[in-house]
Amino acid sequence: MNTWIGFLINLQFFTVFPIKKQLPMDKKYIHRAIQTFPLVGIFLGLILGGVLYGLVEWTPFSSLAIAFMLWVLTIALTGGLHLDGWIDASDAFFSYQDKERRLEIMKDSRTGAFGVISVIVLLAARFILIYEIIEQINQWTYCLIIMIPFLSKCVMGYLLSRMQLAKKEGLGAFFQSAVRKNSLHIYWLYLLLSFVVAYFIDFKLIALFAIMGFAALLFLFYVRRKILRWFGGITGDVLGASVEGVEIWLWLILWLLHYFAMG
pLDDT in tens, 185-231: 999 999 999 999 999 988 889 999 999 999 999 999 999 999 999 99
- The mean pLDDT value for 118-124 works out to 97
> Where residue 72 falls among pLDDT bands split at 50, 70, 90?
very high
* Mean pLDDT of the chain, nearest integer: 92
For 139-192, write each residue's pLDDT tens digit.
999 999 999 999 999 999 999 999 999 887 777 787 888 888 888 999 999 999
pLDDT of residue 123: 98
Q: List the domain boundaries for the chain.
A: 34-257
Is there a contact between 90 and 114 (Cβ–Cβ < 8 Å)? yes
Collapsing DSSP to helix, strand or coil, 18 comes out as coil
Angle, CA of 128, 242 and 86, to the nearest 5°: 70
